[in-house]
Amino acid sequence: MSQRKRKRDIIYRERAFAPAKDYMWGLNDVLDYFYETHNIHYTKVFFMLYIYSMESFFIDAIAKKYGRQKANLWKNVIKPLIRDGLMDEILYNGVREDYYFQDEEDYHKGPGKGDILNRRWGLSQRGRNLVSEMYRMVEK
């Protein structure tokens, strides 16, 4: 008579046998911490991690590379990060200032409705500090 094997939904590997730098063990705690303390949803955290090493980007290019539609990426991720002060427009020397600040209405409409697609965006210093804090928390 054969013994029937029990089906397990989740099989855990013991923490003691995990590699020294297995960051996934603490990732959920870090995401919960960022949501509770800074009110940043995990999709925004993942996007901040994705663009952390980039100096700046155009919305068209990052949407294509990130695999999202530019309007949805702007509305659901980038615009809230800008509103929270975690992303900024990157200004370079030698470019007229009025090119970047043409109309406040264009800024709020989103991509395709004004000058937003021609602007360079990147993480602000506050956003970079939060990502660095996340890396430190995950390494613990």
Q: For residue 94, give Cα distances in angstroms to 91, 99, 121.
A: 9, 11, 17
Write down the pTM of the prediction.
0.69
CATH fold for domain 23-139: Arc Repressor Mutant, subunit A (1.10.10)
* Residue ranges of domains in the chain: 23-139
Cβ(56)–Cβ(121) below 8 Å:
yes
Q: What is the C-alpha to C-alpha distance for residues 56 and 25, in angstroms, rounded to an integer?
A: 31
Per-residue pLDDT of the chain (140 residues; tens, 9 = 90+): 556 655 555 555 555 555 556 667 778 888 899 999 999 999 999 999 998 888 888 888 889 899 999 889 998 999 899 999 999 887 665 454 444 455 555 555 544 445 666 778 889 999 999 999 988 888 77
